[in-house]
Amino acid sequence: MSVSDLIHPTAVIDPATILGDGVQVGPYAVIGPKCDIGPGVWIGAHAVVEYASIGEGSKIHSFAAVGTPPQDLKFKGEETRAFIGKNTVIRECATVNRGTLASGKTVVGDNCLVMAYSHIAHDCVVGNHVVMANSATLAGHVEVSDGVVMGGLCAVHQFARLGTRAMIGGGSMVAQDVAPFCMTHGNRAWIVGLNVVGLRRAGLPKESLSALKSVFKTFFLSDLTLEEAFSRVEGNALPPEAKLFVDFLRSSKRGFCRPKSGGRASMADSAE
């Protein structure tokens, strides 16, 4: 199959764009300046891609926009970029803005699914195997770790962080960091438990899960102050997952989501 068979004649492609082998571009799609499109990428009808690098095997569906200018008043047209990893799917009408001079780039990892109408703002860093359900929204400078699942219509405040394998419930309004392996709900979002089922499905050893539950209880289900909780767990021989949990909380700058007031008793079952 020739290149002309893969690129629809109505597509508009900047002459300097680098197209890998087997790239397919649908009707009326626009690939603007400073683009590098990896092998096997599929770009649907009416999609817009500019100032972006798209990894091998990724798919960008109709009316999605990748690498478009940041929605930030301090942006003055500087040349920045968006980077999409391998085998990532960006569905209809989703938007991924490029970075500002703050970092120069917006990054989305490998094997992600960004569902319809979702938004990834400037300077965000999204890890691998992340799922954003319909209309999930990231403000600027958000960090999303590997394996995070975001429910539909949730929103994350600028500069917040979502820890590894966190699950953000549909409609959650996340104003602070979410600890790894935790689940959230509500406006403002509060912690509703550990993602125990997900951890078991991922094959986490029983010893590691037990240690993670113990650390979770120390921070979220005890009457200890924050510094008392850190003193109790730091210095102990923790498995990697529990250490990741503690280190994440220690490094938080915005503060982190906690259980809803009065909800500790109902949460306890999730940590058993």
Over residues 10-59, the pLDDT tens digits come to: 999 999 999 999 999 999 999 999 999 999 999 999 999 999 999 999 99
Domain region containing 117:
3-144
**Plot region of 22 (φ>0 → left; ψ -120 to 50 → alpha; else → beta):** left
Contact indicator for 45, 26 with CB cutoff of 8 Å: yes
Confidence of residue 235 (pLDDT cuts 50, 70, 90): confident
Q: Domain total for the chain?
A: 2
Of 127, 144, 161, the one marking the end of a domain is 144
Residue 186 lies in a domain: no
Q: Are residues 140 and 7 in the same domain?
A: yes
Q: Which amino acid is at 20?
A: G
Residue 44 lies in a domain: yes
Report the alpha-carbon distance of residue 5 to residue 71 in Å, rounded. 36
Per-residue pLDDT for 272 more than 80? no
Q: Are residues 132 and 206 in the same domain?
A: no
Annotation says 122 is catalytic: yes
Catalytic residue among 46, 61, 122, 185: 122
- Residue 72's closest CA among 83, 64, 80? 80
Q: Are residues 9 and 100 in the same domain?
A: yes
Contacts of 267 (CB under 8 A, 6+ apart): 191, 192, 193, 220, 221, 259
Q: Is 263 exposed, middle or buried (0-12, 13-18, 19+ CB in 10 A)?
A: middle
Residue whose tokens read 């209809």: 92
Residue 161 lies in a domain: no
Residue 84 lies in a domain: yes
Q: Are residues 107 and 45 in the same domain?
A: yes
- Residue 68's closest CA among 34, 41, 39? 34
Q: Are residues 138 and 230 in the same domain?
A: no
List pLDDT tens digits, range 189-214.
999 999 999 899 989 999 999 999 99
Annotation says 123 is catalytic: yes
pTM exceeds cut of 0.75: yes
Catalytic residue among 26, 61, 67, 123: 123
Quickly list H helices, 51-97: none
